[in-house]
Amino acid sequence: MSVTRGTAAARGADGGQDWADELRDAAGPQDACGVFGVWAPGEDVANLTYYGLYALQHRGQEAAGIAVADGRSIVVFKELGLVAQVFDERTLSSLSGHLAVGHTRYSTTGSSTWENAQPSYRTRRSGGGIALAHNGNLTNIMELAEELGDERDAGMHATTDSDLITALLARHDGPTLVEAALAVLPRLRGAFSLVFSDESTLYAARDPHGIHPLVLGRLDDEAKAPAAAGSGCWVVASETCALDIVGAQFVREIEPGELLIIDAAGPRSRRFAPADRHGCLFEFVYLARPDSTISGRSVHATRVEVGRTLAREAPVEADLVIPVPQSGVPAAVGYAEASGIPFGEGLVKNSYVGRTFIQPSQTIRQRGIRLKLNPLREVIEGRRLVVVDDSIVRGNTQRALVRMLREAGAAEVHVRISSPPVRWPCFYGIDFATRAELIASGAGVEQVRESLGADSLAYVSLEGLVAAARQPVNELCRACFDGIYPVPLSDSERLGGKHRLETIGSGQATGQALAEAFRRRVVVGMNGADPSPDDLDGIGDLAGLRLTGDPVEELVGAREGQLGAAGPTGEPAEAGPRVAPAGSGGGRP
């Protein structure tokens, strides 16, 4: 096995906390990840995976990786950055095999570091290796980490629940990965949609609640090589839109509590837990692409119907309905249709802000929202506006947006939100703020309206959203709206934060991971997301540093000064890609 680090990730600098908050909120709530897998002898599996990940880019923009197996070995290539930044034609052409596992990451457990990029890799105790990609968050990670003990550090010093799953599977004494999976998966709590492989077989698994989506597709062409004719070629992905981009036909969802095994004999299914379905309702609101289908329901159709419901529940006299692009567009269309108020494009979005950019000047920073959105004055001036957005998390973006629309000449600004108030954090793989940061958790609708400076504010009702999704209410996870969590949570899971595994790390690896994590409060990464201020508590002790001033500045200085030009092992850092020796077990190159 070999692990390759690319050189693509570029970073920009952020000059102030208000600016960082504004961009973070503008990026919207972030999902844990997108996963993709393909079993297709005779096909270019690396290219198929690249395009599948490209379709899933919205689910994570911090890192991307692909693992390819050819029956004898597994090769992993991963790096921080967008899919198109990490992979090029030369890299993809070097990844050959008959199956692949791909991942695009947004961190909800562990820092945004190369070690935490996926697919994760471990050498199996029984021989061979395992590469794994994970969407979701476990809720019993501290228990699992304590069980592994020193074996946690046998990999790449990763600090993610995904690496814990990989380590647990790898340490199992059973001769097959199927046996390992059937022993380990029932012990995992929380949300997990997994795609993983050994050298010859592709596997997929979904938690018993089916919190996040995972689908199976078939990629067949009678003209293709005979090697694929008997069993067909198969694709597993987080969303159906990824099947579409590679030309695969949707077959079915991976069932909650199901382990799917795909090899030359075709797919076969094993059940590791009974299904207790609680699909994430917020997937319909924001996370999934509108051209995806979840549980038989079109995401786009759901969002349009939510807009119609919102118009009936919260009518207002106005001249124009405008969306906050792009996530507010379907609901705004529905609102305009049901209300009879004309639909218009009043805001122009720059889609590239919040990925990678040069530090803005102070003048631009003071108008930070304009890097993301800019008003069309000739459309807005003198008009009463209904502004439709998908959700309000901290309120920073909406506050700046209302101010900007008034400056552009809007006579009135009425904000309509196509989800209920987000009052509770998510512990299953969506990086909402802590509850203290959620504007709706401590304020009523009128207080939020005053904070935003809008003429009126209304959210769709939870009942209206559920009805639009056309799912049984008892089969949905609605925890971020009503605080009812389908998987019980301990106090440590509620309070530990996304960096809790780093608190039990060892030595320099922990210090580096923590420094990098909190460096992101002053450095805008691939998507402009930052850890919450709550995570700063105790950070100096965790990194083994005595902090007397600003913890962010001192941690950044410690990382740059103490680590200097040395890598995490103390050896001089090298420029360019570095490859670990075959059979190294996934140690960092």
Mark residue 333 as left, alpha or beta (left: phi above 0; alpha: psi -120 to 50; beta: remaining): alpha
Listed residue (196, 124, 120) closest to 161, CA to CA: 120
Paired with 426 in beta bridges are none
CA 94, 100, 103, 104 torsion: positive or negative? positive
480's tokens:
């971020």
Burial of 115 (0-12, 13-18, 19+ CB in 10 A): buried
> Is 280 one of the annotated active-site residues of the chain?
no
Burial 533-556 (b: 16+ CB within 10 A, else e): eebbeebbebbebebeeebbebbb
Cα 272 to Cα 251: distance, rounded to the nearest angstrom: 21
439 phi/psi in degrees, rounded to 5: -65, -35
Rg, Å, the chain Cα set: 23
Cα 324 to Cα 28: distance, rounded to the nearest angstrom: 11
Query: Which residue is associated with the tokens 């509770």?
Result: 424
Cα 408 to Cα 414: distance, rounded to the nearest angstrom: 15
List Cα–Cα distances, 526 to 11, 331, 353, 502, 516, in angstroms.
7, 27, 9, 21, 14
Host H or E run for residue 510: helix 507-519
214's tokens:
């995972």
89's tokens:
């034609």
334's tokens:
């529905």
Number of alpha carbons in the 13 Å side-chain half-sphere of residue 506? 11
Q: Which of 33, 233, 241, 280 is catalytic?
A: 33
- Sorted by sequence, the CB contacts under 8 Å of residue 234 that are 6+ apart come out as 38, 39, 40, 202, 216, 217, 218, 219, 262, 266, 267
Burial of 571 (0-12, 13-18, 19+ CB in 10 A): exposed
Cα 268 to Cα 231: distance, rounded to the nearest angstrom: 11
Listed residue (480, 444, 449) closest to 462, CA to CA: 480
Which residues are marked as active site? 33
